[in-house]
Amino acid sequence: MSRSTFASIAALVSFVYAIPGLVATDAVASLYGVTLDRTATLLSQLLASSYLGYAIINWTTRFSTDPTVWRSLGIGNLVAWAISGIISTLIATSGLTNAMGWVGVGLSIVFTVGWGYFTFAVREAREAAAPVTAPR
């Protein structure tokens, strides 16, 4: 899978989480077996709006060939997904959500591994493949 395909999938997943999270917050929470109070509803909508930002950034930069862009977006996404994965796992194992909580864990693992791969493994391969120029 190419980096652009992966970035497109990541953007779509962020979009799919963002829009229902903004317009049908309580319905999404009930899917996870969670009831939201006023503070939790606001936090959930703020989270959805930040996911929309990720979706826009990942979608519109999916064909970028600038290594600085690759690295910055890769590390940013990696950090967010990795920490979210830890939080999702803690929440799912403590039984605060229903079985849907494990979907979040699975997504976090997939995207943490994916962003890690496209940020570090692919970069190392590109650097190793780059021709070495002799000093003049």
Partner 1 sequence: MTLSALVSLFFGIVGLLATEPLATFGGFVKSVPSAGLGEFLAASYLGYGVMNWFARDTRDPVARRAIAFGNLAGWSLSLALALGEVLTGGAHTFGWPTVVLCAVFSAGWGYFAMQRARAHAHLRVRDAAG
Give the residues lining the site for partner 1 (CB under 8 A): 22, 29, 34-40, 42-47, 49-57, 60-61, 63-64, 66, 68-69, 71-73, 75-81, 83-84, 87, 91, 96
Residue 33: CB atoms within 10 Å: 13
- Cβ proximity to partner 1, 65 vs 136, nearer residue: 65
- Cβ proximity to partner 1, 2 vs 74, nearer residue: 74
- Cβ proximity to partner 1, 26 vs 124, nearer residue: 26
DSSP label at 96? Answer: S
Min separation Cβ 134 and partner 1, Å = 27
